[in-house]
Amino acid sequence: MATHKTVLITGATRGIGKGLALAFADAGWIVYGTGRCAAKDAHAWADAQKIILKELSVTDSAGMAALMQEIKEKHGLLDCLINNAGVASNTPASALSSEEISRIIDTNFRAVFECSQSYYKMQRKAGGCIINVASVLGMVGTSLASVYSGTKGAVIAMTKSLAIEWANSGFRVNAICPGFIDTDMTDMIKKREAIMKKLFEVIPLKRLGRPEDIAAPALMLASDAASYITGQTIVVDGGLTAM
């Protein structure tokens, strides 16, 4: 049954973002997504689900603000913003260039803040819901992810701060921390049998997560059933961080 609620999901053309977009559309939400719409078959599956994709980088703060305003003007309200877009890196810390550091920080942290800020300023009097997709690597360390882990840890801390600061304006701000999810971002890991074997040794549920495993808590956090939940981090990692 249609909810007539609207959601904007960044990085919605693949991986976790695509899974989120499909799940929200299936639940009756009006779904807008941003990302690399030139990705193979992106428009085909989106059109089939009536998902509206926009070719827009999250680092384009003016463009993102304009899209939010467009959604609000067309539908009366942007009920939920999901900051999902992100970039990863497997470069050793000693070899990271200034350009790569900036790219990771600008996408994974700065854009999350600026999108949240634009959403808040646009809808200050009406309230809203923000869900930030962080990572378990923002909670625990690993090799080859120094700056990536740093940005995801910063997103978790920022989520808590914004939840407190914007509570009086009727905003709820929460984060989801995925573990290792079966998407194209983990293809490099899946191709290496030794790494996969070691990974399954430390994941109690003995499998990679699926995009729908992230969509389920996102739908809950975006719903009225979560009206008393803010400033929280939901970990979805098959038990990895419980070890």
Angstrom distance (rounded) from CA 108 to CA 208: 22
Name the strand (E) or helix (H) holding 177.
strand 171-178
Is 120 annotated in the active site?
A: no
Q: At what angle do helices 211-222 and 15-26 cross, to 10 degrees?
A: 50
**Active-site position among 32, 120, 148, 228:** 148
**How many Å is the maximal CA-CA distance in the chain?**
53
Name the strand (E) or helix (H) holding 176.
strand 171-178
What distance, in Å, lies between the first and last C-alpha atoms of the chain?
40
For the annotated catalytic residues, the residue numbers are 148
